[in-house]
Amino acid sequence: MTDYKQDHNQHDGVKTDLDWWQNKICCPRCGKNIYVDGDLNICSHCQLGFQMDKNILCWERSDFQTESVYGWKRYYEGVKYRLDPMASPYSPLVVWTKHLVDDYYSRTLWDKHLAQDWKQHYLDGLNLSSGANVLDHGCGRGRNIGLLSQLGLNVAGQEIENNTWWDNFPRALVQVVSPGYHFLPWRDQSFNLVLDVGVIGHFQPDLLEEYCKEVQRVLVSGGYWLILEANSKGYGAWMPRKHYGRLYSLKQVQAMAFKYGLEEVDHSYEGFYAPIFPRFLNFLRKQCFRSSFDMYDYGSRIEKFIPEERRGLWLLRLQKGRAL
């Protein structure tokens, strides 16, 4: 793990509160506010238990069952995966990619140019002051937490499985919440920005609508929701569609967000995938010919040769109306 030597009590000389998140937590099962004091690791309302270890709060798992593949189909998929040079963990291509990804995650902790470039693209024009509260929903390993922390923002994460990389973020609270609970484990009006990067495709339609309501609840008045998702009309859309089992169009998500009082700031398309051999050609372009690897893909010269609505991703920026 990278030795992250920054003084975590300060950012650019400004002293920060390590426990800024103490009054932001609620129970994901009953939605009631809770306080983490180190003595009572249980929701006093519904008795749902949790464990707190440093900056990671893990809730007791629900009985929600995810879809899985059984029998010969599972065996077939496993064999195909191991023979795929673009996916098998034994492939030199995958080993090289892992090296690039590990280096990229290290850079998200300290590379100010990387963080500023990301900010200029995704947060430009949004009214977010230093010290604003941000939720990275579906944070994964934590690339966005690293970038946002460099920018002087208070960052929280949420995932369904623990990750040791989060040790690099002592100021960020990450809650581990398994699928099946009805509430985001955050109190009303806790965040100035909610971020969803490659997440909403995991939701079934009824659960996505429920999630929209929850995002509206946890945003402050005037807060933002930023969604970056695979484009259902893009070249190479078969890859994320196979992964998720579905893809939501930009229009579908816009309609759902508008229904719950969220207003559009703007939308755009980004990311290059070729009309033929999209995965292989993108691998060559990003892993073999770029001087500095980046897991995001925006603003490249070759992207301009692809019609906007056929690019790999759509970006939607929404704002909670101040009257709500």
Domain borders along the chain are 101-320
Query: Residue 295 phi/psi, 5° resolution?
Result: -75, -20
pLDDT, residue 62, reads 78
- Whats the size of the chain, residue-wise? 324
pLDDT, residue 73, reads 54
**Residues 6 or more apart from 191 whose CB is under 8 A from it?**
133, 134, 135, 156, 218, 219, 220, 223
Please, where are the H alpha helices in the chain? Answer: 71-83, 92-110, 112-122, 143-150, 205-218, 238-244, 250-259, 278-283
Looking at residue 25, the DSSP 8-state letter turns out to be B
pLDDT, residue 5, reads 35
pLDDT, residue 94, reads 76
The residues that bridge with 10 in the sheet, in sequence order, are: 15
Which of 53, 208, 233, 50 is closest to 137 using CA atoms?
A: 208
pLDDT, residue 71, reads 54
Instruction: Return the CATH fold of 101-320.
Output: Rossmann fold (3.40.50)
Look at the alpha carbons of 7, 8, 14, 18 in this order and tell me if their dihedral is positive or negative: negative
Residue 20 tokens, joined: 């800024």
Indicate the pTM of the whole model.
Answer: 0.86
Average pLDDT across each block of 10 residues of the chain; the chain has 324 residues. List them in order: 39 51 93 82 92 93 59 57 65 80 95 97 95 97 97 97 95 93 95 98 93 97 98 91 91 96 97 82 71 83 90 97 59
Looking at residue 308, the DSSP 8-state letter turns out to be G
The residues that bridge with 14 in the sheet, in sequence order, are: 11
Q: How, if at all, do strands 56-59 and 173-176 pair?
A: parallel
Query: Residue 240 is which amino acid?
Result: P
Return d(Cα 41, Cα 34) in angstroms, integer: 10
